[in-house]
């Protein structure tokens, strides 16, 4: 499936006897998976595209799984403390959505710039770009973190938290918002590794950070052993500690030359022109993420008209869908790296082929997942709830949205391909058109005006993402992204 037959295994040194059969041997699928997890040194501007996608996608998928575990672990332990503690985590996460949007926007441009320089065989300029991205992240993170730390109680009040919740949860919010600096660096430096083609390093960073969080969470929340019982604040301290150690590991790897990018003393200078270019690209990336995130809030506002059961069903259905989409995000990020590096190597045709191939693999995967969701939706939903009033809405959401998976597979890849080329404006305009000018009005029309209820909202999601894929494909075929300068 991944075209492994196209990539020859390098012959061993001449001093070792080698049979002709060994010379002809190509890596098996599982050989490539092991290489992907261990860290591949392949030149992604040469050789089999299918194998390149596999080598990049596997660690990226595992990286995203680790990122999702952060929130799951915190909620698992915090839920033992009661409703106020869970509400504190939920409200704070909604505020952190702004930090995540900034982090993702900066990460898109950083990955695109680094990938382009690596493709150009210019590791020194790749290191310079990496340092500028880290510098921007430091400045933005310090401002956002300091503001969040000082204003945490006020922000909780603005979000509608009760006086009791503010009193018990403001320290958690203060620590989490204050760690914005660490969050930005974790996202940014991992994006630098991915852009360089070192996806396995980014994966190991989150494994390390998540393992520390996993161990410290119950210790700091409940006061196990020598640790103090900090309650919900302990969850924030554990998460921030894990992420901080992850950032330290990232910096060590960059400094010690264990990646394709090596940051030396001569690279540690600020270049205003490069930083301004990075900020210009990032502005569109941040807006792109914010538009997508805000559109989900718009759908929730429409669904709230139909009561808490409809909202609960939607929440469960979407959580299952988002978890299933994690491998697709990994495939899409792999396409972004291949686009950036091959444009840098002046191989735009190879960049284009990588996107169509990644889209096809993504369609095969998501098509199979979508079929399973349609056939077995009731059983899957029962794993999360047995409430007879919630289950029908969750089943409808899972089945209807899954019907658009074939289109969504390509839509994800096209969007990330534009970002990988440094064209962050095109997916921003596509998101604005498909989600705000198309999805939200359609959801309102179908669910309320035409009387379809919550199903109207679910249908609008399927149609909007299908439209995004079709428009994205049309714009992608025009090929203007190939002339994008980064």
Q: Which of 181, 268, 253, 197 lies closest to 46, judged by CA?
A: 197
pLDDT band at 8 (very low <50, low <70, confident <90, very high): very low
Evaluate if residue 24 carries a pLDDT over 70.
no
* Distance, CA of 366 to CA of 237 (rounded, Å): 37
Residue 477 per-residue DSSP state: H
* Arithmetic mean of pLDDT, 41-45: 89
CA dihedral for 332, 338, 343, 347, sign (positive or negative): negative
CB 101 within 8 A of CB 244: no
Greatest mean pLDDT range, 14-18, 40-44, 102-106, 344-348 = 344-348
pLDDT the model gives residue 10:
44
* Distance, CA of 341 to CA of 339 (rounded, Å): 6
* Distance, CA of 29 to CA of 251 (rounded, Å): 32
pLDDT the model gives residue 484:
87
pLDDT the model gives residue 420:
94
Give the predicted TM-score (pTM) of the model: 0.85
* Arithmetic mean of pLDDT, 265-288: 89
pLDDT band at 223 (very low <50, low <70, confident <90, very high): very high
pLDDT the model gives residue 25:
59
Write the CA distances from 211 to 66, 215, 468, integer angstroms.
9, 6, 37
Least confident among 205-209, 307-311, 465-469: 307-311
Q: How open is the CA angle 63-67-73, to the nearest 5 degrees?
A: 135
pLDDT band at 134 (very low <50, low <70, confident <90, very high): very high
Residue-wise pLDDT for 100-122, tens only, equals 889 989 999 999 999 999 999 99
CB 200 within 8 A of CB 54: no
Residue-wise pLDDT for 376-415, tens only, equals 999 988 887 788 888 999 999 999 999 999 999 999 999 9
Evaluate if residue 20 carries a pLDDT over 60.
no
Query: Between helices 29-38 and 49-78, what is the axis angle to 10°?
Result: 60
Evaluate if residue 19 carries a pLDDT over 80.
no
* Distance, CA of 54 to CA of 428 (rounded, Å): 28
* Arithmetic mean of pLDDT, 269-281: 88
* Arithmetic mean of pLDDT, 358-382: 93
Convert 438-458 to b/e letters by CB count within 10 Å (16 or more is b). bbbebbbebbeeeebbbbbbb
pLDDT the model gives residue 80:
81
Average pLDDT, the chain: 88
Which tokens hold the place of 440? 């939200």
* Arithmetic mean of pLDDT, 420-440: 94
Q: Where are the domains of the chain?
A: 44-270, 284-486
CB 316 within 8 A of CB 381: yes
Least confident among 1-10, 121-130, 423-432: 1-10
Evaluate if residue 6 carries a pLDDT over 60.
no
CA dihedral for 276, 96, 107, 133, sign (positive or negative): positive
pLDDT the model gives residue 197:
93
Evaluate if residue 281 carries a pLDDT over 90.
no
* Arithmetic mean of pLDDT, 260-284: 89
């Amino acid at each position: 499936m991944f075209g492994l037959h196209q990539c020859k295994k390098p012959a061993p040194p001449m001093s070792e006897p080698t049979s002709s059969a060994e010379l002809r041997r190509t890596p098996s699928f599982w050989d490539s998976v092991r290489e992907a997890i261990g860290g591949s040194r392949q030149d992604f501007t040469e050789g089999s595209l299918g194998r390149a996608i596999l080598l990049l996608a596997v660690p990226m998928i595992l990286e995203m799984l680790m990122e999702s575990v952060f929130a799951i672990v915190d909620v698992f332990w915090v839920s033992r403390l009661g409703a106020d503690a869970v509400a504190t985590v939920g409200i704070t996460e909604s505020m952190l959505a702004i930090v995540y949007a900034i982090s993702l926007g900066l990460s898109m441009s950083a990955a695109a710039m680094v990938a382009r320089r690596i493709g150009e065989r210019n590791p020194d300029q790749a290191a310079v770009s990496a340092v500028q991205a880290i510098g921007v992240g430091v400045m933005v993170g310090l401002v956002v973190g300091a503001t969040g730390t000082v204003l945490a109680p006020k922000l909780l009040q603005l979000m509608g938290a009760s006086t009791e919740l503010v009193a018990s949860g403001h320290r958690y919010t203060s620590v989490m918002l204050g760690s914005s600096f660490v969050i930005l660096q974790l996202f940014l430096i991992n994006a630098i590794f991915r852009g360089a083609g070192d996806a396995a390093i980014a994966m190991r960073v989150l494994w390390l950070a998540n393992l520390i969080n996993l161990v410290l969470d119950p210790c700091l929340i409940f006061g196990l052993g020598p640790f103090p019982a900090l309650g919900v604040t302990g969850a924030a301290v554990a998460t921030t500690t894990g992420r901080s150690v992850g950032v330290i590991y990232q910096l060590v790897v960059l400094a010690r030359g264990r990646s394709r990018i090596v940051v030396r003393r001569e690279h540690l200078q600020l270049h205003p022109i490069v930083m301004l270019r990075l900020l210009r690209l990032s502005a569109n990336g941040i807006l792109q993420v914010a538009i997508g995130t805000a559109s989900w809030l718009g759908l929730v506002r429409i669904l709230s008209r139909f009561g808490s059961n409809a909202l609960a069903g939607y929440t469960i259905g979407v959580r299952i869908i988002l978890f299933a989409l994690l491998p697709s995000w990994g495939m899409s990020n792999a396409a972004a790296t291949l686009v950036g590096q091959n444009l840098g190597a002046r191989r735009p045709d190879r960049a284009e082929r990588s996107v169509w191939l990644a889209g096809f693999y993504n369609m095969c995967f998501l098509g199979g997942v979508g079929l399973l969701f349609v056939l077995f939706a009731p059983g899957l939903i029962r794993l999360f709830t047995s409430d007879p009033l919630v289950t029908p809405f969750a089943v409808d959401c899972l089945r209807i949205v899954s019907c658009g998976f074939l289109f969504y597979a390509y839509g994800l890849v096209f969007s990330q391909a534009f970002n990988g080329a440094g064209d962050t404006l095109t997916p921003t305009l596509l998101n604005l058109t498909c989600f705000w000018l198309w999805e939200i009005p359609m959801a309102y029309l179908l669910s309320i005006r035409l009387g379809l209820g919550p199903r109207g909202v679910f249908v609008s999601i399927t149609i909007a993402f299908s439209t995004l894929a079709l428009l994205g494909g049309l714009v992608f075929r025009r090929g203007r992204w190939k002339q994008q300068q980064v």
